[in-house]
Structure 1
Amino acid sequence: MPTSSWRSARRRSRRRHSEVTQTGSRAAAEADVRTVPVCGLPVAVLDYGRAVELILGWAGDRETVYAVEAANTHVGVQSRRDKEFGAAMDRFDLVCPDGMPLVWAANHQIPHEERMRDRVYGPTLMLRTIKASEKEPVRHFFLGGRESTLKKLEARFKEDCPDAVLAGAYSPPFGEWPEDEFERICDKIRESGSNIIWVGLGCPKQEKWIGQHKDRLPPGVYLGVGAAFAFHAGEVRQAPPFLQRIGMEWFYRLLMEPRRLFRRYLVNNTLFIGYWLADTMKRND
């Protein structure tokens, strides 16, 4: 990364870091959820139980749009490097630490007794939320992925969570969307009556789509969950639990898809460490 771009990214992040530190997420603050800045993101200090509680609670508000992200190092680095992406992420109400590096970076800033013991992993959060919704007036909508993936996804959750209401699913076109695609998606969500919308368009598309259109989306909770669709559909294998616990899931995925992920992990992991060190030194000045 050129020196000028690095410095520009750091200046942008410092401005956003200051804003996040002062205000955090309004919805998270109202829910009494502590947030700490990691790469300029207001990372929530919480566990699965609290995250599910918030999501189901917000789903009961039929007049408001809430945005929830399960963020990993890729999201953190993109938020720092890409001004448009960072602006979209500023509109999210809850940023959960999907990756262990975000947990470690957040824990470094808070008292020992308040530190998180585990991450809030997107695919697991999805499963736990849908399972917990079986006794709630909640309807789920899946947006993203191929038709075949969505069919497998629905079959999986109908088996694992038989009382959950899976109200709709839509596979939008790949690549550039036609001008009327946004309204088509919104119409499908409205017609389904869904109040929890799982968005699996991939990063950075899903975050930009949610953040940039937040004022125009039908009321509900929109969750960016990345590869969760492919995992739950059985199309991509998840890393063994012990690798997930020690923050090495990225290494397992790299072994599975080296061509696609090598550059992404090399660049993102290196930059994340650099940003974290720079922020740590700045706080200690």
Structure 2
Amino acid sequence: MGYHMYKGQLTDILQKGKTIINTLNQYSFCLAEEDKVFKKALMSSDVLLPDGIAIVLSAKFLSGNNFSKIAGADLHEFALKYLNNVYGSCFYLGSMNDTIEAISSKVAEEFPNVRVSGYSPPFKDQFTEEDNKIMIEKINEFGPDVLFVGMTAPKQEKWVFQNKDKIQATYICSIGAVFDFYSGKIERPNAIWVKYGLEWFARFLKEPKRLWRRYFLYGAVYLKHIAFGKFKKAAPVNLN
């Protein structure tokens, strides 16, 4: 059993009922091989986006499948444009209060037809039942069309997986670092880097101490999984 990657266009995503949207990159793939709950959360996604050039290239290498990278930032931008056209609403769950405030102000300025709110939960490894209750109440009181969750992988995907039936939002999107990108806290690499599949390298140059393990250590682990999947036909590396 493997991951079923989304091969369509963003325009086709926001046309269903309740939809859980996650992303997969080489780092989250490796983490999921060590975390059964995380892997189950990813595999149960209604839409799983190929958010990384490594995923795109390895899918072609393993099975000949061709699809384009769709980053969380691309999903976020598309969703806001969609919501602006239909006078919709969105809620941001995660990060810090100043980041949520910066995001809300920017959305109000760039997408004036969108109702926006958010909540910054306590920063801890494990949420208590009371923490979860407050988060869900905040979301459901607002009743957003789209819920954006930014608590980094695998925490965000596992939280959504464990609480999705209680959440009253049509689209639930785990988009991690996009909160920092959109708020301006961290600058997303130039479009040229993105175009040539080098967004990861540009991010590494800006934050080498934080990202070297993700891109190089886990990059080597990912290559091992892909090589094993190619030559030993290992089921966990099925990307299609």
Deviations 1:74-111 (A, max 9, x none): 11111222222112222211100111111122234246
Matches within 5 A, 1:212-227: 212-227=162-177
Structure 1: tracts of 5 or more residues without a match? 1-17, 19-39
CA distance in 2, matches of 1:223, 1:77: 21
Query: Per-residue deviation at 1:181?
Result: 1.3
* Greater relative contact order structure (CA < 8 Å, 6+ sep): 2
2-structure distance, mates of 1:186, 1:192: 10
| 1:136, distance to aligned residue in structure 2 (A) | 2.2
Aligned position for 2:208: 258
TM-score of the superposed pair, with normalisation by structure 1:
0.75
Q: How does 1:98-247 map to 2 (within 5 A)?
A: 98-108=51-61, 109-110=63-64, 115-116=66-67, 118-136=68-86, 138-166=88-116, 168-175=117-124, 176-247=126-197
Partner of 2:10: 51
1:187 deviates by: 1.1
**SS in structure 2 at match of 1:236:** coil
Distance 1:70 1:195 in 2: 19
SS in 2 for 1:68: strand
Whole-Å separation in 1 of the counterparts to 2:214 and 2:172: 25
Q: Is the 8 A contact 2:87 2:114 kept in 1?
A: no
Distance 1:144 1:52, change over 3 A: farther
- Shift in Å at residue 218 of structure 1? 2.6
- Kindly provide the amino acid, as one letter, of the partner of residue 140 in structure 2: R
Aligned counterparts of 1:254 and 1:75: Cα–Cα separation in 2: 17
1:135-169 CA deviation, whole Å, 9 max, x = no partner?
22532111001110011111222222222222x20
Amino acid at match of 1:103: V
The TM-score with structure 2 as length reference comes to 0.89
Query: For the residues of structure 2 that align with 1:216 and 1:171, how far apart are their CA atoms?
Result: 19
Residue type of the alignment partner of 2:231: M
Indicate whether 1:94 and 2:94 are aligned. Answer: no
Pairing 1:36-47 to 2, within 5 Å after superposition? 40-46=2-8
1:44-66 per-position Cα deviation (integer Å, ceiling 9, x unaligned): 112xxx23432x223xx3xx4x2
Amino acid at match of 1:92: S
Q: Contact between 1:41 and 1:79, CA under 8 Å: does it hold in 2?
A: no
Q: Deviations over 1:201-258 (max 9, x none)?
A: 1111101111122233334211110100100001101112222222222222222112
Quote the Cα distance in structure 1 between the aligned partners of 2:104 and 2:169: 22
CA contact (8 A) 2:146 2:171 kept: yes
- The AA in structure 2 aligned to 1:43 is M
State the superposition RMSD in angstroms: 1.9
Structure 2 residue runs without a partner (length 5+): 235-240
The CA distance in 2 between the partners of 1:271 and 1:234, in whole Å, is 32
Deviates further, 82-91 or 197-206: 82-91
1:283 deviation in Å? 4.3
Percent identical:
27
Give the letter for the 1:82 counterpart: D
In the aligned structure 1, how far is the partner of 2:215 from the partner of 2:99? 25
Partner SS for 1:226: coil
